[in-house]
Amino acid sequence: MRDKNKLIKDCMDKAVESGHLAGLNLLVLKDGKEISYNEAGYANIEENKPFKRDTIVRLYSQSKPVTAACAMLLIQDGIIEPYEPVGDYIESFKNQEIVEGGVRRSVRADRPMFIKDLLDMTSGLVYPFVNTPAEIGTGEIYNELIERLTSDNMMSTMEFADRLGEVPLNFQPGEHFQYGTSADILGAVIEKVSGQKLGEFMKERLFDPLGMKDTGFYVPDEKMDRYAMAYNCYGDHPVPYSGNNLGIRDDGKKNAFESGGAGLFSTVDDYANFARMLMNGGIFEGKEILTKRTVKFMTSAKLTPWQQNDMYSWQTLGGFSYGNLMRIMKDPEKAGIMAGEGEYGWDGWLGPYFCNDPESRTSIIMLTQRVDYGTGPVTRKLRNIIFS
């Protein structure tokens, strides 16, 4: 009989011993109940701090499902709705332009960017790069945001959104899927309609009700001893990383830019509570956070066939579609991992990983801090142990 727990621990230990990861932990739930927890390696090698259950990490893009859940709260309360133009809430998004094939033109008047486009990454917003005017313009804003992190005039979530609305889009909203800054703009919309900072809204509506006591947009001084170092792991030995990628402060201190796409810090148990709530149809410890139908809406694939074509370049996401800032398994037969239909979740730039598989009632939360890891080989190996 296979001892899954031993296989999991061996896989994790091997990843650390080889220098592939500095440290990690992994929590597996079945019907919301813990069936396995393991940890390996270091949260900080230089200080000889082991990677523990209460280690705090930068979630990066694993922040996105939390931001989507905040939007769902506002949708089920009738405050916003998916087909509203983003320009109704952020002025600079009213008369946007596109540069496509070197030609600059206006966004179609009958098809502006909708809130739905922010949720499904079909907005035309991009992450910084060097190939198109949209990528270059976005990069210039991020560079300024990062430069101002050490000043007394940090760029706020809303200033970031206002500025980004003036950058041309990469395509007409709705015509393609492209991963980018959509969740950050969604965060600004949430701020606008709630009259609260994104972090305040999340704390009141999600973190406090879900008992997510170590989750937020910065790490308080009294918790810094639990904060993990991020590492480059390209040689035999992990090397500490220092940088403020996507405007997220590597030092964990307060940031005026509360990034709905990348800004949260959290622990494995905090994120497990979020996963439990979704797996349980919006209920957490007897309290309704989201309605059952809202959770069903949130965890359903939303891409059209032509938008889905743009996902094929993500070679390790075979079988998955996308919707509401998460990957969603549509066709397990086309997947390169063992997965059930309807499985959903997301990962982050430094390797934190979350998935809920309603078919087997299994949740996985894995945390690590390796630069540019996303869903890495070790993550997939661990998944295959669990789901086999």
Residues 6+ apart with CB under 8 A from 336: 316, 318, 319, 380
Distance of alpha carbon 274 from alpha carbon 339, whole angstroms: 20
Q: What is the pTM of this model?
A: 0.97
- pLDDT score of 102: 85
Helix axes 64-76, 182-194, angle to 10 degrees: 40
Domain 4-51+200-387: give its CATH code: 3.40.710.10
Residue 75 pLDDT: 98
Q: What's the pLDDT score for residue 236? A: 82
Give residue 387's pLDDT.
Answer: 96
Strands (E), the chain: 23-30, 33-44, 49-50, 57-58, 97-100, 103-106, 231-232, 239-240, 265-266, 283-284, 287-288, 320-323, 326-329, 344-347, 353-357, 362-368
Q: Please say if the pLDDT value at position 160 is more than 90.
A: yes
CATH superfamily name and code, 72-195: DD-peptidase/beta-lactamase superfamily (3.40.710.10)
Mean pLDDT, residues 229-240 taken together: 94
Q: What is the pLDDT of residue 2?
A: 83
CA separation for the pair 385, 388 (Å, rounded): 6
pLDDT of residue 41: 98
Taking only the tens place, the pLDDT of each residue in 292-319 is 999 999 999 999 999 999 998 898 999 9
Give the pLDDT of residue 118: 98
Contact 122, 305 (CB under 8 A): no
Q: What's the mean pLDDT in 185-191?
A: 98
pLDDT at residue 1 is higher than 80? no
Sequence spans of domains, the chain: 4-51+200-387, 72-195
